[in-house]
Amino acid sequence: MQFQQILGQTEAKEHILSAMQHDKLPHALLLCGAEGIGKLAFATAIAQYANCMQPLANDSCGKCANCQRSGQGIHPDISFVLPIMSKEEKGKHILSDAYMGDFRKAFLQDPYFSLEQWQTFLDGANKQLMISVHEMREAKRKLLLKSFSAKFKILIVWNAELVNEKGANAFLKILEEPPERTLILMTSSQPSRLLPTIISRCQRLFLQKLSQSEIATGLQQFNGLPLTQAQQIATIADGSMVNAKGYLEESGVALNDLYVHWMRANYAGNYVKMNETIEKVYKASKEFQRAFLRLAIKKMRDSVLFHLNVSQLALVTEEDKIFHSNFSKVMSVPKAEMMLQETENALRYIAGNGNSQMVFMALSLRLFGILRG
């Protein structure tokens, strides 16, 4: 990828470009930050720039043979390590190279795809993804090969916190003293889970959450969403493309309608309808569940704005207006505060792997209590 294709991250781009132009790029870089902000995309842009034959001041040229190959993810001097499920076939360990074709396709289609999407793709919903010692040995072997055509031998480790201890140990020496012209780029959304031996050998670069307009641009660019829908989703995505896409994932279920049905059921204290709606939520992916709760938080706030007669401050559609004008009649500021508190708690429980069915049922009942209290 080129830097210009990456959403936001202006500061990090400038920092990296300046380091590369002054030949001061560390040989091992750890890209940290929340999920869905483009760490992997950023790593590929660094790799492409490092090997570009005619780099510009602020980006790779995008045209030379190295850029062409990097852009398609097929540069022989740029290799990837991906988390996969541990598997053997005919006595041989399957390594992430076996999945590179699919990974490339997914990445080229949407450079902001998530680890959870990758896991679903590998059909490993309940299995642990990891980066094994065999994988790290192979990565090391590749880094020690002579480069084919490029200035740098580059390794990109996606979600480096999933490298297990043996894998890390097998890799420590090369991470500490790599051959000349080697670049090791690791990404992690959970750097606190990384082994200290890895962290201490890398320079850390923190990427930022994306702004609402950057998310809206991304949804249009990579997911083909119309502007207004993209803007609406951007307001509740908390700076992450992965969060934003949680809203698109279950295309059969319109989140907005689901919220409206749910709130009506909560107000009426209709257990059957409560259960009907939340069943659709808790049976979906965790991303969808979080997306639903974030949407609920936004909608509750919008209802308060309607209640306070400042509806012009809410970013809502015509359809929303009808719901909010009605719902705001049963709202009050103290009620809204309690409801928001409960919903935010539910979001934390879900993020912390709470039992989704219980969390949503309990939340429904509490909202019922507040609305009628």
Q: Select 67 or 136, whichever has its Cβ closest to Zn ion.
A: 67
* Minimum distance, C-beta of residue 70 to Zn ion, in the bound complex (Å): 8
d(CA 301, CA 59): 41
Distance separating the N- and C-terminal Cα atoms of the chain: 55
Cα 135–Cα 136–Cα 138 angle in degrees, nearest 5: 65
The alpha carbons of the chain give a radius of gyration, in whole angstroms, of 23
Please give the torsion angle defined by the CA atoms of residues 49, 51, 54 and 60, in that order, rounded to the nearest 10 degrees.
Answer: -20
Q: Select 28 or 45, whichever has its Cβ closest to Zn ion.
A: 45
* Minimum distance, C-beta of residue 167 to Zn ion, in the bound complex (Å): 32
Q: Select 56 or 133, whichever has its Cβ closest to Zn ion.
A: 56
Q: Select 68 or 220, whichever has its Cβ closest to Zn ion.
A: 68
Task: List, as one string, the DSSP characters of 229-272.
Answer: HHHHHHTTSTT-HHHHHHHHH-TTS-HHHHHHHHHHHHHHT-HH
Residue 108's alpha-carbon distances to 5, 102, 208, in angstroms, are 12, 10, 22
* Minimum distance, C-beta of residue 73 to Zn ion, in the bound complex (Å): 15
* Minimum distance, C-beta of residue 59 to Zn ion, in the bound complex (Å): 9
Run of H or E including 204: strand 203-206
* Minimum distance, C-beta of residue 48 to Zn ion, in the bound complex (Å): 7
Q: Quickly count: other Cβ atoms within 10 Å of residue 54's Cβ.
A: 11
Q: Select 64 or 362, whichever has its Cβ closest to Zn ion.
A: 64
Structure-token match 């850029």, residue found: 67
* Minimum distance, C-beta of residue 75 to Zn ion, in the bound complex (Å): 11
Q: Quickly count: other Cβ atoms within 10 Å of residue 329's Cβ.
A: 11
Nearest one of 329, 302, 331 to 317, comparing CA atoms: 302
Give the footprint of Zn ion on this chain (CB under 5 A): 52, 60-61, 64, 67
* Minimum distance, C-beta of residue 64 to Zn ion, in the bound complex (Å): 3
| Token pair listed for 19 | 């380091």
* Minimum distance, C-beta of residue 69 to Zn ion, in the bound complex (Å): 10
Q: Select 20 or 61, whichever has its Cβ closest to Zn ion.
A: 61
Q: Select 153 or 245, whichever has its Cβ closest to Zn ion.
A: 153
Q: Select 78 or 207, whichever has its Cβ closest to Zn ion.
A: 78
Nearest one of 199, 195, 187, 233 to 37, comparing CA atoms: 187
* Minimum distance, C-beta of residue 173 to Zn ion, in the bound complex (Å): 32
Q: Select 60 or 356, whichever has its Cβ closest to Zn ion.
A: 60
d(CA 319, CA 302): 13
* Minimum distance, C-beta of residue 62 to Zn ion, in the bound complex (Å): 6
Q: Select 45 or 170, whichever has its Cβ closest to Zn ion.
A: 45
| Token pair listed for 150 | 């490029």
Q: Are 240 and 252 in contact (CB under 8 A)?
A: no
Residue 170 falls in which region: left (phi positive, over 0), alpha (psi -120 to 50) or beta = alpha
d(CA 281, CA 275): 10
